[in-house]
């Protein structure tokens, strides 16, 4: 059972880590790049103003997974790699807090950076409502899907960072994993697998695609908020944090 002391410990770690992001240029640079990338893709490649469609699914949210593949690991690569490099991991783990307090606190501090970044994109949503009369459902679920995608990529990065003290190695490996978890559910890749695989093995390709971030993200951006998609991303986060916990415990043993 979670007690008030547990929450206080998580909050203390969260504040320490969240302020650390903004005491350095990291958060500012990442958020600015994210805003420029999302708006740039929406207006230049998504042809937001030329589409005559009061929807953000194809012009705006469509590009978010590809942005998160790179930028989410850039935020999360310092979670544990930096602690190991500076030798402060041992100090942190000997403090009167449980390892999961530190893991959850640091993870949600990184997730809050992405929440802030997404919040700052609100002008594009206001523009859609100003120019047309869109269905608010797909916009709301699109933002939920985008944040879930960021949370999934951060969970992967957290797990990877617990195994290495090099931020560069963590970044490269995390990008590779996030890219893999995107491509196995990307429609062109899934369609290609379905063409080359015997019909009897189609279930295998669909099963692999189900494990992809993209498969669940796409459904949510259409305005379909299925419980299974939320459970999927929650499971990815839990698994990523459990792997992080086991990796850190092995270092403390």
| DSSP-based three-state secondary structure for 90 | helix
Between 196 and 230, where is the model more confident? 230
> Mean of the per-residue pLDDT values for the chain?
84
Check pLDDT > 70 for residue 83: yes
Model confidence at 69, pLDDT cuts 50, 70, 90, reads: very high
Kindly report the pTM of this predicted structure: 0.88
Please check the confidence at residue 54 and state whether its pLDDT lies above 60: no
Give percent of the chain above pLDDT 90. Answer: 34
Mean pLDDT (whole number) for 158-171? 90
pLDDT at 119 over 80: yes
pLDDT of residue 233: 94
**DSSP 8-state symbol, 45:** I
* Predicted local confidence at residue 49, as pLDDT: 61
Task: Give the residue, 136 or 229, on which the prediction is more confident.
Answer: 229
Q: Are 104 and 241 in contact (CB under 8 A)?
A: yes
User: Cα–Cα distance between 99 and 11 in angstroms, integer?
Assistant: 14
The pLDDT value recorded for residue 122 is 87
Q: What is the mean pLDDT of residues 56-72?
A: 85
Q: How many domains does the chain have?
A: 1
List the single range of 21-25, 46-50, 79-83 with lowest mean pLDDT. Answer: 46-50
Taking 80 as the threshold, does the pLDDT of residue 77 lie above it? yes
- CA distance to 33, 67, 101, 191, per residue, from 41 (Å): 12, 10, 38, 25
Per-residue confidence (pLDDT) for residue 110, from 0 to 100: 93
Q: Which residue has the tokens 């491509």?
A: 183
Phi, psi values for residue 206, rounded to 5° = -70, -35
Q: How far apart are CA 65 and CA 218, in angstroms?
A: 10
Token pair listed for 33 = 């790049």
Q: Are 71 and 178 in contact (CB under 8 A)?
A: no
> Between 199 and 73, whose confidence is greater?
73
Q: Hunting for tokens 């969970």 — which residue is that?
A: 155
CA distance 122 to 4: 34
User: Residue 175 sits in which domain range?
Assistant: 4-252
pLDDT for 57:
64
């Amino acid at each position: 059972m979670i007690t008030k002391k547990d929450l206080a410990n998580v909050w203390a770690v969260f504040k320490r880590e969240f302020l650390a992001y903004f005491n350095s240029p990291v958060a500012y640079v990442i958020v600015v790049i994210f805003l420029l990338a999302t708006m740039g893709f929406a207006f230049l490649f998504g042809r937001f103003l030329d589409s005559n469609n009061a929807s953000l699914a194809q012009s705006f949210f469509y590009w978010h997974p590809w942005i998160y593949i790179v930028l989410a690991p850039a935020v999360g690569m310092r979670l544990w790699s930096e602690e190991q490099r500076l030798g402060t991991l041992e100090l942190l783990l000997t403090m009167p807090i449980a390892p999961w307090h530190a893991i959850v606190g640091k993870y949600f501090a990184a997730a809050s950076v992405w929440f802030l970044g997404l919040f700052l994109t609100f002008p594009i949503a206001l523009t859609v409502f100003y120019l047309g009369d869109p269905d608010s459902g797909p916009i709301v679920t699109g933002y939920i899907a985008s944040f879930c995608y960021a949370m999934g990529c951060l969970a992967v990065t957290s797990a990877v960072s617990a195994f290495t003290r090099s931020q560069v190695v963590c970044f490269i490996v995390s990008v590779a994993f996030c890219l893999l978890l995107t491509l196995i559910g990307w429609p062109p890749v899934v369609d290609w697998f379905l063409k080359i695989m015997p019909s009897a093995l189609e279930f295998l390709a669909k099963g692999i695609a189900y494990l992809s971030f993209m498969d669940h993200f796409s459904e949510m951006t259409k305005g379909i908020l299925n419980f299974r998609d939320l459970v999927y991303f929650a499971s990815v986060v839990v698994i990523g944090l459990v792997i992080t916990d086991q990796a850190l415990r092995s270092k403390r043993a």
